[in-house]
Structure 1
Amino acid sequence: MRQLYIKQKMLSLKDKFTVKDDQENEVYFVEGSFMQIPKTFSIMDSSKREVALITKKIFSFLPTFFVEVNGQESVTIKKQFSFLKARYSIDAAGMEVRGNWWDMDFEVLQNGESIGSVSKKWFTWGDSYQLDIANETMEPLLVALVVAIDCAKADQASVTSSIPNM
């Protein structure tokens, strides 16, 4: 099983960070658009070739993110309407997420078989995640899924913090 580590940099104007393996080698580079509509995240391999693209849908009542891997749309992440806790659904052929994905502690299954799991690392400067990959052919999709969910969470946090206290 391959392990990757995603650590976002704090206080960065442009969302830019790397994904490293357990030997600290940079495996993927993630770069978010800055002041661009729609918001996108490009995920590139070690030779700087784009392997995945995340795009936030702009004219949508609830946040929606499209994930493309190798030029093919693979996953759609949609926020669902709820009053108490933010809920999201993931639409993909045969894929499901089990666990507490809002707290970034979940397993990803395809056709009932585990292809990877994610756990958040606590007490770190910036958001850090460990990604355990059981099916290495799904690696770019799993990295993109973690980045997309984290982006959805960040959007929710910014909306919540901008609501004035009554």
Structure 2
Amino acid sequence: MKELYIKQKVLSMRGRFTVKDADERDVYFVEGSFLKVPKVFTVSDTGGSEVAQITKHFLTWLPKFTVSIDGQEVITIKKEFTFFKSKFTIDALGLEVEGDWWDMDFGIYQHGELIGEVSKKWFSWGDSYQVKVMDESVEKLIIALVIAIDCVKADQSSAASSASFGD
């Protein structure tokens, strides 16, 4: 098992942050596009090579995000039409998220087997997440999924804030 930590910078306009290991060494660098449509987050390794990309689709009726790993689209996250509570679906081969993903406390399963766990760290400046990777062969997938879910949450929160701001 491998433990990784995602610590987002609160006041970063571009959405830059680092994924570190348990010894606080950099493992991945994440950078969001600034004033670009569609919004894209790029995940790079310490050598500067792109390993994953999260894209928010533009001109869709409901929010939709895709995740590409090593240039291959592997995950689609879509908001479902509901009247009360927000609901999102994750389309990927055998991938499920169980738990409270809205509060970033969930398990990631592939074909019923636990491959990762995510928990939000409270009382920290900015959003901080502990990510436990049970199967290191899907490490990039798990990190990209966590970033994508956090992006979905941020997008939903900003939409709710702007809607209530006009009231």
The one-letter code of the counterpart of 1:144 is A
Sort the Cα spacing of 1:40 and 1:165 in 2 relative to 1 into closer, same or farther, 3 A: closer
- Match for residue 131 of structure 1? 131
CA–CA separation in structure 2 for the residues paired with 1:13 and 1:78: 25
- Match for residue 82 of structure 1? 82
- Match for residue 155 of structure 1? 155
Give runs of aligned pairs for residues 36-47 of structure 1, distance below 5 A: 36-47=36-47
- Match for residue 49 of structure 2? 49
Give runs of aligned pairs for residues 1-150 of structure 1, distance below 5 A: 1-150=1-150
Show structure 1 runs of 4+ deviating over 3 A: none
**Residue 82 (structure 1) shift:** 2.0
CA–CA separation in structure 1 for the residues paired with 2:63 and 2:154: 11
Q: State the identity as a percent.
A: 57
Q: How much is the aligned-residue C-alpha RMSD, in angstroms?
A: 0.9
CA–CA separation in structure 2 for the residues paired with 1:99 and 1:22: 24
**Residue 84 (structure 1) shift:** 2.5
Could you tell me the TM-score, scaled by structure 1's length?
Answer: 0.97
Count the aligned residue pairs: 166
Q: Deviations over 1:64-91 (max 9, x none)?
A: 0000001111100011122322211100
CA–CA separation in structure 1 for the residues paired with 2:77 and 2:32: 17
Q: Deviations over 1:39-70 (max 9, x none)?
A: 00000011110000011110111110000001
CA–CA separation in structure 2 for the residues paired with 1:47 and 1:142: 20
CA–CA separation in structure 2 for the residues paired with 1:81 and 1:129: 28
CA–CA separation in structure 2 for the residues paired with 1:106 and 1:84: 22
In the alignment, structure 2 segments of 5+ residues that lack a partner are none
In the alignment, structure 1 segments of 5+ residues that lack a partner are none
The one-letter code of the counterpart of 1:35 is L
Q: Deviations over 1:101-156 (max 9, x none)?
A: 11111111111111101011111110000000000010001000011110110011
The one-letter code of the counterpart of 1:131 is V
Secondary structure of the structure 2 residue equivalent to 1:140: helix
CA–CA separation in structure 1 for the residues paired with 2:34 and 2:152: 16
Sort the Cα spacing of 1:157 and 1:27 in 2 relative to 1 into closer, same or farther, 3 A: same
CA–CA separation in structure 2 for the residues paired with 1:83 and 1:27: 40
Secondary structure of the structure 2 residue equivalent to 1:53: strand
Could you tell me the TM-score, scaled by structure 2's length?
Answer: 0.97
The one-letter code of the counterpart of 1:88 is F
